[in-house]
């Protein structure tokens, strides 16, 4: 692997938090008092709980399963002290990023928390930090590597921390799909748009083909821009974010959307279907947000009459349609913070974040939208032993698990990221 070829960071970037397009369904959310707030109740375990908690492995879908060094035992009572000591010894040379979906045991050592794009920008804004320890998943560390300077190294404490959604769109599949569009005679009028939650390879593809990256906060603006450049959009890899944005925010109908299945010949679509579509959605989804169902929404409404249902746009269309409010993780956090005491919220996003919000706002009734646990299994792979190990390796002068995007891919991906930063 070679080191990144990215330019020094741009500290004057637009603030995606200001760009957040949190959406409110017609009828509005109920923010009035809902009576005394009961204590937070954990959703129940499922047979998948161990895997969801980051134990066990799935080598077919993750980027690696073995830690190359000696991990401290999870039972070591000195782990917190060891992490604190290593971090203090490293001083400003290390900067620890913590994604909102990370465990509390890891978040306590984060210098900053946020969503994937905010964290990449935070890393880029700290050129003095020689090492960026990214407590998130692989595509996030890649984006941070692309946006940080050549002298900085991004570290992922566990290489098994991939993203099942990002893994659903592989570059050879996307190259093949583009040939299908060319055969249908529409490649020239299609603009590719990829969600931040995609590999550097896919961002590079999109950059090579004149497209743009988007986040869950700015997806509408990215699509508006794309439709100024061409007639149709090919949206990767999250079908739900693409569909929800196109239908709920841009006035398209479900019939304007077609689903390209990379596991079927020609995506399972005819040339005419491709020519008639306004937006071609890649068949990918988030395995965490995809678990919420219309039944979850109906059930919580029956149990808690004045509840406000607040969900992430990675949820399925019928779930988003039934919700009161829709928005990114940053939007969800701000909405809960601004809510009046006593109000009730059923939140459809990753469990670590919902649980943390419940702890931080005991005056509000905050519940998880589903009755069963719904962690991001790969996010949960970053635990305290891995964090301690990666920090102590740095103290010892060794860099464990560096994430480096090859210079050519990084340059193309940077173009698509810069186009996002330039969105009005």
Binding site per annotation, positions for [4Fe-4S] cluster: 163, 286, 376
Residues 189-228 that bind ligand SF4 (CB under 6 A): 197
In this complex, which beta carbon is closest to ligand SF4, that of residue 192 or of residue 348? 348
Question: Which of 332, 379, 400, 403 is the binder for ligand SF4 (CB under 6 A)?
Answer: 379
- Considering the rule CB under 6 A, would residue 168 count as an interface residue with ligand SF4? no
Q: How far is the CB of 195 from ligand SF4 (least distance, A)?
A: 8
Q: Are 346 and 307 in contact (CB under 8 A)?
A: yes
Residues 126-165 that bind ligand SF4 (CB under 6 A): 137, 163-165
In this complex, which beta carbon is closest to ligand SF4, that of residue 232 or of residue 381? 381
- Considering the rule CB under 6 A, would residue 287 count as an interface residue with ligand SF4? yes
C-alpha span between 302 and 12 (Å, rounded):
47
- Considering the rule CB under 6 A, would residue 311 count as an interface residue with ligand SF4? no
Q: How far is the CB of 286 from ligand SF4 (least distance, A)?
A: 3
C-alpha span between 156 and 259 (Å, rounded):
33
What is the CA 25 to chain-centroid distance, rounded?
A: 23
- Considering the rule CB under 6 A, would residue 269 count as an interface residue with ligand SF4? no
- Considering the rule CB under 6 A, would residue 382 count as an interface residue with ligand SF4? no
- Considering the rule CB under 6 A, would residue 288 count as an interface residue with ligand SF4? yes
- The residue among 266, 300, 302 whose CA lies nearest residue 310 is 300
C-alpha span between 148 and 404 (Å, rounded):
11
Please state whether beta strands 325-326 and 23-24 pair in parallel, antiparallel, or not at all (unpaired): antiparallel
In this complex, which beta carbon is closest to ligand SF4, that of residue 99 or of residue 361? 99
- The residue among 347, 214, 230, 233 whose CA lies nearest residue 279 is 233
In this complex, which beta carbon is closest to ligand SF4, that of residue 83 or of residue 163? 163
In this complex, which beta carbon is closest to ligand SF4, that of residue 137 or of residue 213? 137
- Considering the rule CB under 6 A, would residue 257 count as an interface residue with ligand SF4? no
Cα→Cα distances 402→55, 102, 138, 159, 405, Å = 22, 19, 11, 9, 10
- Considering the rule CB under 6 A, would residue 329 count as an interface residue with ligand SF4? no
- Considering the rule CB under 6 A, would residue 332 count as an interface residue with ligand SF4? no
Across the beta sheet with 344-348, what order do the strands follow? 23-24, 325-326, 308-311, 344-348, 365-368
Residues 223-252 that bind ligand SF4 (CB under 6 A): none
Please tell me the count of residues contacting ligand SF4 according to CB under 6 A. Answer: 13
C-alpha span between 302 and 305 (Å, rounded):
6
Place of tokens 């678990």: 291
Q: Are 287 and 52 in contact (CB under 8 A)?
A: no
- Considering the rule CB under 6 A, would residue 266 count as an interface residue with ligand SF4? no
Binding site for ligand SF4 (CB under 6 A): 101, 137, 163-165, 197, 286-288, 350, 376, 378-379
């Amino acid at each position: 692997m070679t080191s990144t070829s990215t330019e020094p960071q741009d500290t004057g970037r637009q603030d995606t938090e200001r760009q957040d397009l949190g959406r409110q369904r017609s009828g509005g959310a109920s923010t009035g008092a809902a009576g005394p707030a009961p204590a937070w109740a954990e959703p129940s375990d499922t047979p998948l709980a161990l895997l969801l908690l980051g134990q066990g492995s799935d080598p077919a879908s993750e980027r690696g399963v073995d830690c190359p060094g000696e991990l401290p035992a999870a039972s070591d009572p000195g782990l917190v002290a060891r992490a604190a000591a290593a971090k203090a010894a490293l001083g400003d040379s290390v900067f620890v990023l913590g994604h909102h979906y990370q465990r509390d045991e890891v978040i306590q050592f984060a210098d900053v928390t946020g969503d994937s794009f905010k964290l990449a920008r935070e890393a880029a804004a700290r050129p003095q930090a020689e090492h960026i320890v990214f407590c998130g998943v692989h595509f996030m560390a890649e984006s941070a590597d692309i946006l940080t300077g050549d002298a900085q190294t991004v570290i992922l404490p566990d290489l098994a921390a991939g993203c099942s959604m990002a893994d659903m769109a592989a570059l050879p599949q996307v190259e093949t799909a583009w040939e299908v569009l060319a055969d249908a005679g529409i490649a020239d009028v299609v603009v590719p748009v990829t969600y931040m939650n995609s590999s550097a390879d896919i961002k590079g593809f999109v950059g090579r083909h004149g497209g743009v990256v988007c986040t869950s906060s700015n997806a509408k603006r990215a699509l508006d821009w794309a439709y100024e450049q061409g007639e149709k959009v090919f949206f990767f890899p999250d079908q739900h974010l693409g569909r929800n944005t196109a239908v709920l925010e841009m006035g398209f109908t479900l019939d304007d959307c077609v689903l390209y299945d990379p596991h079927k010949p020609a995506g399972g679509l005819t040339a005419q279907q491709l020519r008639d579509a306004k937006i071609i959605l890649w068949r990918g989804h988030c395995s965490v947000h995809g678990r919420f169902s219309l039944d979850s929404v109906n059930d919580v409404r029956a149990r808690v009459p004045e509840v406000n249902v607040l969900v992430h746009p990675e949820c399925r269309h019928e779930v988003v349609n039934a919700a009161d409010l829709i928005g990114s993780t940053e939007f969800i956090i701000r909405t809960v913070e601004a809510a009046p005491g006593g109000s009730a919220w059923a939140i459809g996003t990753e469990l670590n974040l919902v649980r943390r919000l419940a702890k931080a706002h005991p005056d509000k009734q905050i519940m998880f939208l589903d009755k069963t646990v719904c962690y991001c299994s790969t996010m949960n792979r970053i635990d305290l032993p891995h964090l301690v190990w990666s920090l102590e390796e740095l103290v010892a002068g060794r860099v464990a698990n560096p994430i480096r995007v090859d210079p050519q891919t990084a340059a193309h991906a940077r173009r698509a990221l810069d186009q996002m930063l330039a969105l009005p």
